[in-house]
Copies of this chain bind each other. A is one copy, B any other.
Amino acid sequence: MRTRIDLAYDGTDFKGWARQPGLRTVQETLEDALATVLRVPAVAVTCAGRTDSGVHARGQVIHLELDEQELSASIGRSRLLPMDALHRRLNGILPPDIRVQQVRAAPPGFDARYSASWRRYAYRVTDGAVDPLARHHVLAWPRPLDLAAMNEAADLLLGLRNFAAYCKRREGATTVRTLIDLHWEREPSGLAVLTVRADAFCHNMVRAITGALLAVGDGRRLADWPKQVLDTEQRHPAVTVAPARGLTLEEVGYPDGLELVRQAERARNKRELPDD
């Protein structure tokens, strides 16, 4: 039975999503918790966005294959439905910096990674007072930010483009992506929040774009600079990758029904090594 789990984590104390020997990662922590609850030697999960070290998530999505009889046996007697019991038990043994938000049966053909039609990230920056209660997921910026200038720069990057200039190159991976949303808003608290949505992202792409926009925002660069960098189609030494702490994977979008399967086929064909 294909199963979907939505989860959130504070990335501060994780070395990112993907398993790495000897390091604390979200994947290993979650897979180990699943194996414990399900009483099996190992569990393998696939996620929608493989977040980097220090990057957070509120809307990470994963899938895994569950054996219904195995699940019932491991859950045992419970007033709850098996999915709800699994949800509760996972949160009972997971550390407080990972929380499972939802566990549900996924439609046939659902693939957390390949079925996704878009990923939405938020990057949070304060250029005023720093709220120590939010310091783990908000970047403090020492100079005032001009959101109008940053949005002017952002508009020029929208659409289907080759983002090679903003990507850490990986062999065999395409850097062509469709950037659907890229805009800054100031919250009533004064916080500046960048919303970034694309079909998919290559490695470092959100944080490299954010870094280029921040250079515009504090007046070091003009509003057309990030587009000029894009047009070089080559990794640009003047672009500073913004720190991981400000970045959160907020939501992953999936199409309905049969379109799930078609989307997965299209994504597999288009990208050899898709990233977060």
Binding site for B on A (CB under 8 A): 8-10, 56, 58, 91, 96-99, 101-102, 129-133, 135-137, 248
Q: Is the CB of B133 within 8 A of A137?
A: yes
Task: Give 20 A-B contacts (CB < 8 Å), ordered by A residue.
Answer: A8-B129, A8-B130, A8-B133, A10-B132, A10-B135, A56-B132, A56-B133, A58-B131, A58-B133, A91-B130, A96-B132, A96-B135, A97-B132, A97-B135, A98-B132, A99-B130, A99-B131, A99-B132, A101-B129, A102-B129
Apart from A10-B132, A96-B132, A97-B135, what are 6 other A-B pairs with CB-CB below 8 Å? A8-B130, A8-B133, A58-B133, A99-B129, A99-B131, A99-B132
Cα–Cα distance between A131 and B133 once the two chains are bound (Å): 13
Chain B residues near A133 (CB, 8 Å)? Answer: 8, 10, 56, 58, 136-137, 248
A-B pairs, top 4 by smallest CB distance, nearest first, are A10-B132, A101-B129, A99-B130, A133-B137
Min Cβ gap A135→B in Å is 6
